[in-house]
A and B are shown apart, each in its own frame.
Chain A
Amino acid sequence: MDISVEIGKIKLKNPVMTASGTFGYGEEYAGFIDINELGALVVKGLSLLPKEGNPPPRIVETPAGMLNAIGLQNIGIDKFLKEKLPYLRQFNTPVIVNFFGDSIEEYVKAAGRLSSADGIHGLEMNISCPNKEAGWSVFGTDPQVTYRVVSSVRKATDLTLIVKLSPNVTDIALMANTAEDAGADAVSLINTLTGMAIDIRTRRPKLANIRGGLSGPAIKPVAVRMVWECYKKISIPIIGMGGIISADDAVEFMLAGASAVAIGTGNFINPGVTMDVLSGIKSFMSAEKLNSLKELIGRVEC
Protein backbone atom coordinates (compact mmCIF):
# COMPACT_ATOMS: atom_id res chain seq x y z
CA MET A 1 0.00 0.00 0.00
CA ASP A 2 1.39 3.38 -1.00
CA ILE A 3 0.38 6.17 1.33
CA SER A 4 3.18 8.54 0.46
CA VAL A 5 2.34 11.86 -1.07
CA GLU A 6 4.24 14.79 -2.57
CA ILE A 7 3.66 18.38 -1.58
CA GLY A 8 5.94 20.54 -3.71
CA LYS A 9 9.44 19.23 -3.22
CA ILE A 10 8.55 17.47 0.01
CA LYS A 11 7.94 13.75 -0.02
CA LEU A 12 5.65 12.78 2.85
CA LYS A 13 5.72 9.14 3.95
CA ASN A 14 2.05 9.48 4.85
CA PRO A 15 -0.59 12.19 4.48
CA VAL A 16 -1.06 13.00 8.18
CA MET A 17 0.29 16.36 9.24
CA THR A 18 -0.18 18.63 12.22
CA ALA A 19 -1.89 22.00 11.88
CA SER A 20 0.03 25.07 12.86
CA GLY A 21 -0.64 26.47 16.31
CA THR A 22 -1.88 23.20 17.71
CA PHE A 23 1.35 21.28 17.95
CA GLY A 24 3.69 23.82 19.56
CA TYR A 25 7.23 23.20 18.35
CA GLY A 26 6.84 19.45 18.58
CA GLU A 27 8.30 18.85 22.04
CA GLU A 28 4.95 19.14 23.77
CA TYR A 29 3.78 15.95 22.03
CA ALA A 30 6.94 13.86 22.18
CA GLY A 31 5.62 12.00 25.24
CA PHE A 32 2.45 11.02 23.40
CA ILE A 33 3.46 10.04 19.86
CA ASP A 34 6.53 9.11 17.87
CA ILE A 35 7.19 12.30 15.88
CA ASN A 36 8.96 10.14 13.25
CA GLU A 37 5.61 8.64 12.31
CA LEU A 38 4.08 11.94 11.21
CA GLY A 39 3.80 12.78 7.53
CA ALA A 40 5.00 16.29 8.31
CA LEU A 41 5.13 18.54 11.33
CA VAL A 42 3.91 22.13 11.01
CA VAL A 43 5.10 24.32 13.85
CA LYS A 44 3.38 27.19 15.60
CA GLY A 45 3.32 30.34 13.46
CA LEU A 46 6.43 32.50 13.67
CA SER A 47 7.17 36.15 13.00
CA LEU A 48 10.47 37.99 12.68
CA LEU A 49 10.10 39.41 16.16
CA PRO A 50 8.56 37.60 19.14
CA LYS A 51 4.89 38.33 19.79
CA GLU A 52 3.32 38.44 23.21
CA GLY A 53 -0.18 37.50 22.06
CA ASN A 54 -3.58 38.57 23.32
CA PRO A 55 -4.69 39.02 26.92
CA PRO A 56 -6.73 36.19 28.45
CA PRO A 57 -9.35 34.79 28.24
CA ARG A 58 -8.03 33.45 24.95
CA ILE A 59 -10.13 30.36 24.40
CA VAL A 60 -13.72 29.32 24.88
CA GLU A 61 -15.38 26.05 24.03
CA THR A 62 -18.45 26.15 21.79
CA PRO A 63 -20.68 23.26 20.63
CA ALA A 64 -18.35 20.75 18.91
CA GLY A 65 -15.70 23.41 18.58
CA MET A 66 -13.68 26.13 20.20
CA LEU A 67 -12.92 29.77 19.63
CA ASN A 68 -9.38 30.97 20.09
CA ALA A 69 -7.78 34.36 20.09
CA ILE A 70 -4.21 33.51 21.05
CA GLY A 71 -2.99 36.48 19.08
CA LEU A 72 -0.16 34.68 17.24
CA GLN A 73 1.97 34.51 20.37
CA ASN A 74 5.39 33.17 19.38
CA ILE A 75 9.04 33.22 20.33
CA GLY A 76 10.22 34.81 17.07
CA ILE A 77 12.20 33.28 14.23
CA ASP A 78 15.68 33.76 15.72
CA LYS A 79 14.84 32.03 18.96
CA PHE A 80 13.08 29.25 17.06
CA LEU A 81 16.15 28.62 14.89
CA LYS A 82 18.43 28.59 17.91
CA GLU A 83 16.37 26.80 20.52
CA LYS A 84 13.67 24.71 18.82
CA LEU A 85 14.88 23.71 15.37
CA PRO A 86 17.87 21.64 16.59
CA TYR A 87 15.43 19.44 18.51
CA LEU A 88 13.28 18.93 15.42
CA ARG A 89 16.26 18.01 13.21
CA GLN A 90 16.64 14.65 14.95
CA PHE A 91 13.40 13.38 13.43
CA ASN A 92 12.91 11.73 10.12
CA THR A 93 9.87 13.92 9.51
CA PRO A 94 9.74 17.02 7.30
CA VAL A 95 9.44 20.24 9.26
CA ILE A 96 7.20 22.90 7.79
CA VAL A 97 7.40 26.34 9.36
CA ASN A 98 4.27 28.43 9.46
CA PHE A 99 5.04 32.15 9.41
CA PHE A 100 3.37 35.52 9.06
CA GLY A 101 4.11 39.22 8.93
CA ASP A 102 2.29 42.50 9.13
CA SER A 103 3.74 43.84 5.88
CA ILE A 104 4.97 42.32 2.64
CA GLU A 105 8.48 43.35 3.57
CA GLU A 106 8.22 41.42 6.82
CA TYR A 107 6.94 38.29 5.07
CA VAL A 108 9.83 38.45 2.63
CA LYS A 109 12.42 38.94 5.36
CA ALA A 110 10.95 36.12 7.41
CA ALA A 111 10.90 33.75 4.44
CA GLY A 112 14.52 34.64 3.64
CA ARG A 113 15.67 34.03 7.20
CA LEU A 114 13.88 30.68 7.41
CA SER A 115 15.13 29.54 4.00
CA SER A 116 18.78 29.84 5.00
CA ALA A 117 18.32 27.52 8.00
CA ASP A 118 19.19 23.85 7.88
CA GLY A 119 16.37 21.45 8.72
CA ILE A 120 13.36 23.32 7.38
CA HIS A 121 11.65 21.55 4.49
CA GLY A 122 8.85 23.89 3.67
CA LEU A 123 7.16 27.15 4.53
CA GLU A 124 3.50 27.70 5.19
CA MET A 125 2.37 31.31 4.86
CA ASN A 126 -0.41 32.42 7.15
CA ILE A 127 -2.22 35.12 5.20
CA SER A 128 -5.12 35.40 7.62
CA CYS A 129 -3.43 38.19 9.58
CA PRO A 130 -3.82 41.97 9.34
CA ASN A 131 -1.84 44.09 6.90
CA LYS A 132 -0.23 47.15 8.47
CA GLU A 133 0.01 48.91 5.09
CA ALA A 134 -3.66 48.46 4.26
CA GLY A 135 -5.44 49.72 7.35
CA TRP A 136 -4.99 46.32 9.04
CA SER A 137 -7.33 44.58 6.60
CA VAL A 138 -6.54 40.89 6.26
CA PHE A 139 -4.01 39.92 3.56
CA GLY A 140 -5.82 36.79 2.54
CA THR A 141 -9.23 38.28 1.87
CA ASP A 142 -8.16 40.47 -1.07
CA PRO A 143 -6.96 38.57 -4.17
CA GLN A 144 -4.68 41.40 -5.32
CA VAL A 145 -2.98 41.69 -1.95
CA THR A 146 -2.74 37.90 -1.76
CA TYR A 147 -1.07 37.82 -5.16
CA ARG A 148 1.44 40.48 -4.19
CA VAL A 149 2.44 38.94 -0.88
CA VAL A 150 2.66 35.38 -2.21
CA SER A 151 4.62 36.30 -5.34
CA SER A 152 7.03 38.41 -3.24
CA VAL A 153 7.65 35.51 -0.86
CA ARG A 154 8.00 33.14 -3.82
CA LYS A 155 11.01 35.16 -5.02
CA ALA A 156 12.56 34.98 -1.56
CA THR A 157 12.53 31.22 -1.08
CA ASP A 158 13.33 27.99 -2.91
CA LEU A 159 11.65 25.92 -0.24
CA THR A 160 8.28 24.36 -0.87
CA LEU A 161 5.80 27.18 -0.35
CA ILE A 162 2.35 26.45 1.02
CA VAL A 163 -0.24 29.19 1.33
CA LYS A 164 -2.75 28.73 4.12
CA LEU A 165 -6.06 30.16 2.98
CA SER A 166 -8.54 32.07 5.06
CA PRO A 167 -12.12 30.77 4.85
CA ASN A 168 -13.49 34.21 5.67
CA VAL A 169 -13.95 35.05 1.98
CA THR A 170 -16.79 34.84 -0.53
CA ASP A 171 -14.94 32.72 -3.07
CA ILE A 172 -12.25 30.43 -1.66
CA ALA A 173 -11.45 28.93 -5.08
CA LEU A 174 -10.51 32.38 -6.35
CA MET A 175 -8.05 32.73 -3.48
CA ALA A 176 -6.61 29.29 -4.19
CA ASN A 177 -6.24 30.20 -7.84
CA THR A 178 -4.51 33.43 -6.91
CA ALA A 179 -2.05 31.60 -4.67
CA GLU A 180 -1.29 29.13 -7.45
CA ASP A 181 -0.76 31.92 -10.00
CA ALA A 182 1.54 33.69 -7.55
CA GLY A 183 3.78 30.65 -7.38
CA ALA A 184 2.56 28.62 -4.41
CA ASP A 185 3.47 24.92 -4.47
CA ALA A 186 0.40 23.97 -2.45
CA VAL A 187 -2.46 25.48 -0.50
CA SER A 188 -3.69 24.49 2.93
CA LEU A 189 -7.23 25.12 4.03
CA ILE A 190 -9.08 26.05 6.02
CA ASN A 191 -7.79 28.41 8.65
CA THR A 192 -10.29 29.20 11.42
CA LEU A 193 -13.63 30.86 10.78
CA THR A 194 -14.08 34.14 12.59
CA GLY A 195 -16.58 33.82 15.41
CA MET A 196 -17.78 35.32 18.65
CA ALA A 197 -19.38 34.13 21.87
CA ILE A 198 -21.16 36.20 24.53
CA ASP A 199 -21.75 35.52 28.21
CA ILE A 200 -25.45 36.33 28.44
CA ARG A 201 -25.36 37.12 32.15
CA THR A 202 -22.44 39.53 32.17
CA ARG A 203 -23.27 40.64 28.60
CA ARG A 204 -19.55 40.57 27.90
CA PRO A 205 -17.79 38.74 25.04
CA LYS A 206 -16.29 35.49 26.30
CA LEU A 207 -12.93 36.31 24.68
CA ALA A 208 -10.89 39.35 25.71
CA ASN A 209 -10.22 39.92 22.01
CA ILE A 210 -14.00 39.83 21.36
CA ARG A 211 -13.59 37.85 18.13
CA GLY A 212 -11.81 34.55 17.78
CA GLY A 213 -11.18 31.76 15.31
CA LEU A 214 -13.58 28.84 15.33
CA SER A 215 -12.09 25.38 14.94
CA GLY A 216 -13.00 21.78 15.65
CA PRO A 217 -15.61 19.36 14.27
CA ALA A 218 -18.15 22.22 14.07
CA ILE A 219 -16.37 23.63 11.00
CA LYS A 220 -15.70 20.37 9.17
CA PRO A 221 -18.52 20.55 6.59
CA VAL A 222 -17.48 24.09 5.67
CA ALA A 223 -13.89 22.96 5.25
CA VAL A 224 -14.80 19.91 3.16
CA ARG A 225 -16.92 22.08 0.86
CA MET A 226 -14.07 24.57 0.44
CA VAL A 227 -11.51 21.86 -0.33
CA TRP A 228 -13.86 20.47 -2.97
CA GLU A 229 -14.37 23.91 -4.53
CA CYS A 230 -10.62 24.54 -4.67
CA TYR A 231 -9.80 21.09 -6.01
CA LYS A 232 -11.89 21.75 -9.10
CA LYS A 233 -10.04 25.01 -9.84
CA ILE A 234 -6.36 24.39 -9.12
CA SER A 235 -3.71 21.87 -10.05
CA ILE A 236 -1.39 22.23 -7.04
CA PRO A 237 -1.95 19.90 -4.05
CA ILE A 238 -4.32 20.78 -1.24
CA ILE A 239 -3.67 20.12 2.42
CA GLY A 240 -7.12 19.76 3.94
CA MET A 241 -7.93 20.66 7.52
CA GLY A 242 -10.78 21.80 9.70
CA GLY A 243 -12.24 19.62 12.42
CA ILE A 244 -10.49 16.34 11.62
CA ILE A 245 -10.55 14.05 14.64
CA SER A 246 -10.80 10.62 12.99
CA ALA A 247 -9.63 8.65 9.98
CA ASP A 248 -13.14 8.88 8.53
CA ASP A 249 -12.85 12.67 8.62
CA ALA A 250 -9.46 12.50 6.92
CA VAL A 251 -10.77 10.24 4.15
CA GLU A 252 -13.68 12.62 3.62
CA PHE A 253 -11.23 15.49 3.03
CA MET A 254 -9.25 13.36 0.58
CA LEU A 255 -12.33 12.45 -1.38
CA ALA A 256 -13.10 16.17 -1.58
CA GLY A 257 -9.64 16.73 -3.06
CA ALA A 258 -7.05 16.94 -0.27
CA SER A 259 -3.70 15.23 -0.98
CA ALA A 260 -2.77 15.43 2.68
CA VAL A 261 -4.60 16.34 5.86
CA ALA A 262 -3.64 18.34 8.91
CA ILE A 263 -4.99 17.82 12.39
CA GLY A 264 -5.42 20.82 14.63
CA THR A 265 -7.90 21.04 17.48
CA GLY A 266 -8.00 17.22 17.50
CA ASN A 267 -4.53 17.27 19.07
CA PHE A 268 -5.93 19.16 22.05
CA ILE A 269 -8.68 16.62 22.60
CA ASN A 270 -6.39 13.64 22.18
CA PRO A 271 -2.64 14.20 21.88
CA GLY A 272 -2.27 10.83 20.15
CA VAL A 273 -4.95 11.52 17.53
CA THR A 274 -2.52 11.82 14.59
CA MET A 275 -1.46 8.20 15.04
CA ASP A 276 -5.07 7.04 15.38
CA VAL A 277 -5.94 8.83 12.15
CA LEU A 278 -2.92 7.37 10.37
CA SER A 279 -3.68 3.78 11.36
CA GLY A 280 -7.36 4.35 10.57
CA ILE A 281 -6.52 5.52 7.05
CA LYS A 282 -4.47 2.37 6.49
CA SER A 283 -7.27 0.12 7.76
CA PHE A 284 -9.80 1.96 5.61
CA MET A 285 -7.61 1.51 2.55
CA SER A 286 -7.08 -2.18 3.12
CA ALA A 287 -10.77 -2.74 3.85
CA GLU A 288 -11.63 -0.89 0.62
CA LYS A 289 -8.81 -2.67 -1.22
CA LEU A 290 -7.08 0.55 -2.22
CA ASN A 291 -3.40 0.53 -3.11
CA SER A 292 -2.68 4.22 -3.35
CA LEU A 293 -3.97 7.53 -2.04
CA LYS A 294 -4.55 8.48 -5.66
CA GLU A 295 -7.62 6.28 -5.54
CA LEU A 296 -9.05 8.58 -2.89
CA ILE A 297 -7.88 12.09 -3.67
CA GLY A 298 -10.66 14.06 -5.34
CA ARG A 299 -12.64 10.89 -6.02
CA VAL A 300 -15.94 12.11 -4.61
CA GLU A 301 -18.68 11.15 -7.06
CA CYS A 302 -21.00 14.06 -7.62
Chain B
Amino acid sequence: MAKNHFLLTAHPLNTMPSPDPGQFFMLSVDSRLDPLLKRPFSLHRLVLGDLQFLYRVVGKATNILKDKKAGDIMELIGPLGNGFPVNEIEEKKPVLIAGGMGIAPLVALAEKFTERQPVFFYGARNAEEILCLNELESIGITPVISTDDGTSGRKGFVTDIVEEFLYHHPSSSFDYALYSCGPKPMLETLSGIAMKYKIKAYMALEESMACGIGACLGCVIKTVDGYKRVCKEGPVFLSEEIIW
Protein backbone atom coordinates (compact mmCIF):
# COMPACT_ATOMS: atom_id res chain seq x y z
CA MET B 1 0.00 0.00 0.00
CA ALA B 2 1.09 3.61 -0.58
CA LYS B 3 3.12 5.45 2.02
CA ASN B 4 1.14 6.11 5.20
CA HIS B 5 -1.86 4.15 3.93
CA PHE B 6 -2.95 0.92 5.55
CA LEU B 7 -5.57 -1.76 5.22
CA LEU B 8 -6.92 -3.25 8.44
CA THR B 9 -8.73 -6.57 8.22
CA ALA B 10 -10.93 -7.47 11.18
CA HIS B 11 -12.52 -10.85 11.68
CA PRO B 12 -15.72 -10.29 13.72
CA LEU B 13 -16.00 -12.52 16.76
CA ASN B 14 -19.71 -11.80 17.15
CA THR B 15 -22.47 -11.89 14.60
CA MET B 16 -23.57 -8.58 13.16
CA PRO B 17 -26.01 -7.29 10.57
CA SER B 18 -24.63 -7.25 7.06
CA PRO B 19 -23.16 -3.79 6.46
CA ASP B 20 -24.04 -1.56 3.50
CA PRO B 21 -21.48 0.50 1.61
CA GLY B 22 -21.19 3.85 3.35
CA GLN B 23 -21.90 2.54 6.83
CA PHE B 24 -19.19 2.89 9.45
CA PHE B 25 -17.78 1.30 12.58
CA MET B 26 -16.45 2.82 15.79
CA LEU B 27 -13.02 1.35 16.49
CA SER B 28 -11.26 1.33 19.80
CA VAL B 29 -7.58 1.46 18.94
CA ASP B 30 -6.55 0.34 22.42
CA SER B 31 -7.56 0.61 26.06
CA ARG B 32 -5.42 3.64 26.94
CA LEU B 33 -7.02 6.87 28.11
CA ASP B 34 -5.34 8.86 25.35
CA PRO B 35 -6.75 8.59 22.77
CA LEU B 36 -9.90 8.26 24.84
CA LEU B 37 -12.68 7.92 22.32
CA LYS B 38 -13.39 5.33 19.67
CA ARG B 39 -12.82 6.51 16.10
CA PRO B 40 -15.26 6.25 13.21
CA PHE B 41 -14.01 4.33 10.19
CA SER B 42 -15.98 3.85 7.04
CA LEU B 43 -16.14 0.22 6.00
CA HIS B 44 -13.99 -0.37 2.94
CA ARG B 45 -15.09 -3.87 1.96
CA LEU B 46 -16.56 -6.98 3.41
CA VAL B 47 -14.43 -9.90 2.24
CA LEU B 48 -15.62 -13.40 3.15
CA GLY B 49 -17.18 -12.04 6.33
CA ASP B 50 -14.11 -10.04 7.33
CA LEU B 51 -14.29 -6.27 7.66
CA GLN B 52 -11.71 -4.22 5.84
CA PHE B 53 -10.87 -0.66 6.75
CA LEU B 54 -8.69 1.50 4.57
CA TYR B 55 -7.04 4.42 6.30
CA ARG B 56 -4.30 6.98 6.18
CA VAL B 57 -2.18 7.70 9.25
CA VAL B 58 -3.10 11.22 10.30
CA GLY B 59 -2.93 11.37 14.10
CA LYS B 60 -2.71 9.68 17.46
CA ALA B 61 -5.22 6.90 16.88
CA THR B 62 -4.18 5.90 13.37
CA ASN B 63 -0.57 5.87 14.51
CA ILE B 64 -1.42 3.26 17.13
CA LEU B 65 -3.59 1.36 14.68
CA LYS B 66 -0.82 0.96 12.12
CA ASP B 67 1.30 -0.97 14.61
CA LYS B 68 -1.33 -3.63 15.28
CA LYS B 69 -0.21 -7.19 14.75
CA ALA B 70 -2.09 -10.08 13.22
CA GLY B 71 -4.22 -11.70 15.90
CA ASP B 72 -4.63 -8.59 18.06
CA ILE B 73 -8.11 -8.20 19.53
CA MET B 74 -9.90 -4.90 19.07
CA GLU B 75 -13.28 -3.65 20.17
CA LEU B 76 -15.53 -2.20 17.51
CA ILE B 77 -19.17 -1.23 17.21
CA GLY B 78 -21.15 -1.40 14.00
CA PRO B 79 -22.34 -1.30 11.35
CA LEU B 80 -23.60 2.18 12.18
CA GLY B 81 -25.50 4.90 10.34
CA ASN B 82 -27.15 4.85 6.96
CA GLY B 83 -25.15 3.75 3.94
CA PHE B 84 -25.69 4.66 0.29
CA PRO B 85 -29.12 3.76 -1.07
CA VAL B 86 -28.39 1.11 -3.65
CA ASN B 87 -31.84 0.02 -4.74
CA GLU B 88 -33.90 3.18 -4.64
CA ILE B 89 -33.15 4.56 -8.05
CA GLU B 90 -32.42 1.55 -10.13
CA GLU B 91 -33.09 3.13 -13.47
CA LYS B 92 -30.38 5.72 -12.97
CA LYS B 93 -26.78 5.58 -14.14
CA PRO B 94 -24.47 5.66 -11.13
CA VAL B 95 -21.63 8.16 -11.20
CA LEU B 96 -19.20 7.59 -8.36
CA ILE B 97 -16.77 10.29 -7.30
CA ALA B 98 -13.98 9.57 -4.83
CA GLY B 99 -11.65 12.21 -3.45
CA GLY B 100 -8.55 11.04 -1.59
CA MET B 101 -9.46 8.68 1.24
CA GLY B 102 -13.06 8.99 0.06
CA ILE B 103 -12.20 5.95 -2.04
CA ALA B 104 -12.67 3.80 1.07
CA PRO B 105 -16.46 3.15 0.90
CA LEU B 106 -16.82 3.58 -2.85
CA VAL B 107 -15.19 0.36 -4.05
CA ALA B 108 -17.83 -1.73 -2.27
CA LEU B 109 -20.52 0.57 -3.64
CA ALA B 110 -19.18 0.24 -7.20
CA GLU B 111 -19.31 -3.52 -6.74
CA LYS B 112 -23.03 -3.31 -5.94
CA PHE B 113 -23.55 -1.29 -9.10
CA THR B 114 -21.51 -3.38 -11.56
CA GLU B 115 -24.52 -4.42 -13.64
CA ARG B 116 -25.42 -0.79 -14.21
CA GLN B 117 -21.89 -0.01 -15.42
CA PRO B 118 -21.08 2.89 -13.17
CA VAL B 119 -18.86 5.76 -14.21
CA PHE B 120 -16.08 6.20 -11.66
CA PHE B 121 -14.10 9.39 -11.09
CA TYR B 122 -11.20 9.31 -8.70
CA GLY B 123 -9.15 12.33 -7.65
CA ALA B 124 -6.18 12.49 -5.28
CA ARG B 125 -3.29 14.78 -4.47
CA ASN B 126 -0.73 12.74 -6.40
CA ALA B 127 -0.09 9.38 -8.05
CA GLU B 128 1.11 7.85 -4.80
CA GLU B 129 -2.24 8.39 -3.16
CA ILE B 130 -4.24 6.67 -5.86
CA LEU B 131 -5.28 3.40 -4.23
CA CYS B 132 -7.38 0.34 -4.97
CA LEU B 133 -6.83 0.25 -8.73
CA ASN B 134 -6.47 -3.53 -8.71
CA GLU B 135 -9.63 -3.89 -6.66
CA LEU B 136 -11.54 -1.68 -9.08
CA GLU B 137 -10.14 -3.58 -12.05
CA SER B 138 -11.23 -6.88 -10.53
CA ILE B 139 -14.83 -5.66 -10.59
CA GLY B 140 -14.46 -4.36 -14.11
CA ILE B 141 -14.08 -0.68 -13.36
CA THR B 142 -11.51 1.62 -14.90
CA PRO B 143 -11.72 4.91 -13.07
CA VAL B 144 -11.14 8.31 -14.63
CA ILE B 145 -8.18 9.46 -12.57
CA SER B 146 -7.09 12.96 -11.79
CA THR B 147 -4.42 14.33 -9.47
CA ASP B 148 -3.73 17.80 -8.15
CA ASP B 149 -0.15 17.65 -9.44
CA GLY B 150 -0.78 15.70 -12.65
CA THR B 151 1.44 12.74 -11.65
CA SER B 152 -1.39 10.36 -12.53
CA GLY B 153 -4.29 10.80 -14.91
CA ARG B 154 -5.43 14.31 -15.65
CA LYS B 155 -4.11 17.30 -13.75
CA GLY B 156 -6.76 19.16 -11.85
CA PHE B 157 -9.68 18.76 -9.50
CA VAL B 158 -11.95 15.78 -9.89
CA THR B 159 -14.96 18.09 -9.62
CA ASP B 160 -13.93 19.94 -12.81
CA ILE B 161 -13.65 16.65 -14.62
CA VAL B 162 -17.04 15.51 -13.39
CA GLU B 163 -18.63 18.73 -14.56
CA GLU B 164 -16.96 18.40 -17.96
CA PHE B 165 -18.34 14.88 -18.23
CA LEU B 166 -21.86 15.95 -17.36
CA TYR B 167 -21.64 18.83 -19.82
CA HIS B 168 -20.57 16.54 -22.67
CA HIS B 169 -22.82 13.65 -21.73
CA PRO B 170 -26.17 15.25 -20.96
CA SER B 171 -28.67 12.93 -19.40
CA SER B 172 -30.53 12.13 -22.60
CA SER B 173 -30.54 8.36 -22.69
CA PHE B 174 -30.45 7.97 -18.92
CA ASP B 175 -30.49 9.96 -15.73
CA TYR B 176 -27.51 10.07 -13.46
CA ALA B 177 -27.24 9.68 -9.73
CA LEU B 178 -24.06 10.81 -8.02
CA TYR B 179 -22.47 8.93 -5.12
CA SER B 180 -19.56 10.57 -3.49
CA CYS B 181 -17.14 10.60 -0.62
CA GLY B 182 -14.18 12.90 -0.09
CA PRO B 183 -13.01 16.14 1.47
CA LYS B 184 -15.68 18.65 2.40
CA PRO B 185 -14.68 21.34 -0.16
CA MET B 186 -14.94 18.72 -2.90
CA LEU B 187 -18.37 17.63 -1.73
CA GLU B 188 -19.53 21.22 -1.53
CA THR B 189 -18.43 21.90 -5.12
CA LEU B 190 -20.05 18.68 -6.23
CA SER B 191 -23.24 19.67 -4.48
CA GLY B 192 -23.34 22.84 -6.60
CA ILE B 193 -22.74 20.81 -9.77
CA ALA B 194 -25.51 18.38 -8.85
CA MET B 195 -27.89 21.28 -8.36
CA LYS B 196 -26.90 22.86 -11.67
CA TYR B 197 -27.49 19.64 -13.62
CA LYS B 198 -30.51 18.69 -11.50
CA ILE B 199 -29.02 15.38 -10.43
CA LYS B 200 -29.55 13.60 -7.13
CA ALA B 201 -26.27 13.38 -5.26
CA TYR B 202 -25.61 11.16 -2.25
CA MET B 203 -22.61 12.06 -0.15
CA ALA B 204 -20.93 10.27 2.73
CA LEU B 205 -19.77 12.86 5.25
CA GLU B 206 -17.12 12.68 7.90
CA GLU B 207 -17.12 14.44 11.28
CA SER B 208 -15.45 14.00 14.63
CA MET B 209 -17.61 11.78 16.81
CA ALA B 210 -17.59 10.91 20.47
CA CYS B 211 -20.12 8.07 20.58
CA GLY B 212 -21.15 7.17 17.02
CA ILE B 213 -24.59 6.03 18.21
CA GLY B 214 -26.52 9.27 18.31
CA ALA B 215 -26.15 10.25 21.94
CA CYS B 216 -23.49 12.94 22.14
CA LEU B 217 -24.81 15.29 19.40
CA GLY B 218 -21.20 16.15 18.64
CA CYS B 219 -21.12 15.26 14.93
CA VAL B 220 -23.93 17.42 13.61
CA ILE B 221 -24.03 19.19 10.26
CA LYS B 222 -26.37 21.98 9.27
CA THR B 223 -29.20 20.90 7.00
CA VAL B 224 -32.39 22.47 5.67
CA ASP B 225 -34.18 20.76 8.58
CA GLY B 226 -31.77 22.00 11.24
CA TYR B 227 -28.79 20.16 12.67
CA LYS B 228 -28.57 16.47 11.86
CA ARG B 229 -26.26 13.85 13.31
CA VAL B 230 -23.75 12.46 10.83
CA CYS B 231 -23.65 9.20 12.84
CA LYS B 232 -27.39 8.60 12.92
CA GLU B 233 -29.18 10.48 10.13
CA GLY B 234 -26.01 10.12 8.02
CA PRO B 235 -23.24 9.57 7.24
CA VAL B 236 -24.83 9.51 3.76
CA PHE B 237 -26.96 12.55 2.99
CA LEU B 238 -28.64 13.89 -0.11
CA SER B 239 -26.61 16.93 -1.13
CA GLU B 240 -29.71 19.12 -1.40
CA GLU B 241 -30.29 18.68 2.36
CA ILE B 242 -26.94 20.07 3.37
CA ILE B 243 -26.26 23.70 4.14
CA TRP B 244 -22.54 24.15 3.45
Contact = CB atoms under 8 A, between A and B. Distances in A.
Interface centre among B210, B218, B222 (most CB of A within 10 A): B210
Contacts of A52: 226-227
A65 B208 contact: no
B213 interface: yes
B42 to A, nearest CB: 19
B211 A267 contact: yes
Interface stretch (A23-31, A175-183, A184-192): A23-31
Contacts, number: 85
A28 B215 contact: yes
Interface string A256-295: 0000000001011111000000000000000000000000
B81 to A, nearest CB: 13
A32 B213 CA distance: 10
Nearest to A59: B218
Interface stretch (A66-74, A87-95, A100-108, A115-123): A66-74
Contacts of B195: none
A271 B36 contact: no
A65 B36 contact: yes
Interface string B213-229: 11111111110001100
B227 A53 contact: yes
A73 B227 contact: yes
Given A56-B220, A268-B37, A68 B210 contact: yes
A23 B220 contact: no
A217 interface: yes
A217 B198 CA distance: 49
Contacts of B36: 61, 64-66, 216-217, 265, 269
B48 interface: no
Interface in B127-151: none
Interface centre among A23, A58, A66, A270 (most CB of B within 10 A): A58
B35 interface: yes
Given A24-B214, A29-B213, A68-B210, A56 B221 contact: yes
Nearest to A271: B213
Contact of B215 (A23, A57, A58): A23
B218 A70 contact: yes
A135 interface: no
A128 B77 CA distance: 33
Interface centre among B37, B75, B216, B219 (most CB of A within 10 A): B216
Nearest to B218: A59
Contacts of B222: 55-56
A58 B226 contact: no
Contacts of A268: 37-38, 210-211, 215-216
- Interface size bucket, B side? 20 to 34
A21 B75 CA distance: 24
Contacts of B217: 53, 58, 70, 73
A59 B216 contact: yes
A84 to B, nearest CB: 13
Contacts of A57: 207-208
Interface in B19-36: 28, 33-36
Contact of A56 (B35, B207, B214, B226): B207
A196 interface: no
A270 B75 CA distance: 9
B13 to A, nearest CB: 15
A151 interface: no
A267 B37 contact: no
A59 B208 contact: yes
A59 B210 CA distance: 8
A22 interface: yes
A216 B37 CA distance: 10
Interface of B: 28, 33-38, 75, 77, 207-211, 213-222, 226-227
Given A59-B210, A73-B227, 7 more contacts: A22-B211, A29-B215, A56-B227, A61-B210, A64-B34, A267-B215, A271-B77
22 contacts: A21-B216, A53-B217, A56-B227, A58-B217, A58-B219, A58-B220, A59-B218, A60-B208, A63-B33, A64-B34, A66-B37, A68-B210, A68-B216, A73-B217, A217-B36, A265-B210, A268-B37, A268-B38, A268-B211, A268-B216, A270-B28, A271-B211
